[in-house]
Amino acid sequence: MAGEPQADCLFCKIVSGEVPATVVKETETTVAFRDINPQAPVHCLVIPKVHHPDAASLAAAAPDIAADVLREAGEVALQENGDKGYRIVFNTGAGAGQTVFHAHAHVLGGRGFNWPPG
């Protein structure tokens, strides 16, 4: 069921403490940690503590928590990268590169980014 921890979800296991992560910030509703395969000098993930498979389903079911994820992504970017600018990415679906099906925001910084991405 959406919102409930999933036994086979890596990010649910990070939330529960079953799988270790380098946590950089935690709130009542979110956890932020360093990506194990960084794509930029600053690359953290911000996840909701509740399980929803992607950003769109999180926003539809729990818009307040989706807002928490976005707010915390900005806070993590400032904490980790200062005011140098950053990118927030939500991959939604396998075709967009999502590999863990628990909603999450990638916070990227510490280098320049091209547009369009990809």
Task: Give the residue numbers marked as catalytic.
Answer: 104
Nearest Cα neighbor of 90 from 77, 101, 76 is 101
- First-to-final CA distance of the chain: 33
Helix, strand, coil percentages (3-state) for the chain, rounded to 5, are 30, 20, 50
